Structure 1
Amino acid sequence: MPVRPWSPEDLGRPTDGTWADVAFGLGEMYERAGDLESAADWYRRAAESDRADAALRLGAVLGRMADASRADDSAEDLLAEATRWLSGAQDTSTPDAIELITDMLNRHQRQAARRGLEPAPTC
């Protein structure tokens, strides 16, 4: 039996939701399980499909991933992507969104402070 490539239509599109809703639900499931990389992948898909709250959740997850990898250069990339998603979120005036944005600003300040504490390269 040949293997068919997977597509969102294979999920049978729930009658009360959309593909973005399914992707968002999978992101929540992976986030609760502690698999932040998979959660970010699914939240990203939901956000790219214009699910309103997915950009906020994606920004939060990417920020947590940056905190976990603060020792390497990927933390800066994760923070940059999180900032892009949070700044483009549709409803940033809710208390939850304001808290996420404030957390992101604090993460940027901590990252800048770490860079400032690094020894200067000697020639």
Structure 2
Amino acid sequence: MPVRPWCPEVPGARADGPWSDVAFGLGDLYERDGDLDRAAEWYREAAEAGRADAALRLGDVLGRLADQRLPAAPDTAAELLAEASRWLSGAPDATTPDAIELITVMLDRHQRQAARRGLEPAPAG
């Protein structure tokens, strides 16, 4: 028997509807406070519960986290950017103007990351 996701508002309720709204709201709160790591956690919860706008916001937050981490941790930045790409490209409303803008920004991030890799010296071997 599959385990149903838990929803704190209604015992036994599925984790969509009110729960995804709460998770999205927490993600928004943390994003406005500048805590992108926590915002990503909550947007991911809401997106996994099926909230389409959470998938777009998650992709945007992950992309900004990748930008922050790129100079110091390029591998982590690449992983964040890959996850951002998956969420943005898989979002149900990826054809809206806002989504297209986010996808364009994400593609620019990919290009900048590829350019940095191209400028790195080749390993001596």
Runs of 5+ unmatched residues, structure 2: 1-5
Contact preservation (8 Å) 2:27, 2:43 = yes
Equivalent residue, structure 2, for 1:45: 45
> Could you tell me how far 1:106 is from its partner in structure 2?
0.2
C-alpha deviation, 1:21, in angstroms: 0.5
Q: What residue number does 1:33 align with?
A: 33
Q: CA 1:32–1:11 in structure 2 vs 1: closer, same or farther (change >3 Å)?
A: farther
In 2, Cα distance between equivalents of 1:91 and 1:39: 20
Cα deviations by residue, 1:46-92 (Å, 9 ceiling, x for unpaired): 00000110000000000000000012110000000000101110001
Identify which of 74, 92, 96 aligns with 1:90. 92
Partner of 2:3: none
**SS at 1:34 equivalent:** coil
Q: Please name the residue that 1:116 is paired with.
A: 118
Partner of 1:58: 58
Alignment length (residue pairs)? 114
Match of 2:105 among 99, 103, 106: 103
RMSD: 1.6
Q: Label 1:35 to 1:75 Cα distance change in 2 as closer, same or farther (>3 A).
A: same
Q: State the shift of 1:11 in Å.
A: 8.1
Identity of aligned residues (%): 68
In structure 1, list runs of 5 or more residues that go unmatched: 1-6
TM-score by length of 2: 0.86
Deviations 1:18-45 (A, max 9, x none): 1000000000000000000000000000
Q: How does the TM-score come out when normalised to structure 1? A: 0.88
Amino acid paired to 1:8? C
Deviation at residue 10 of structure 1 after TM alignment? 5.2
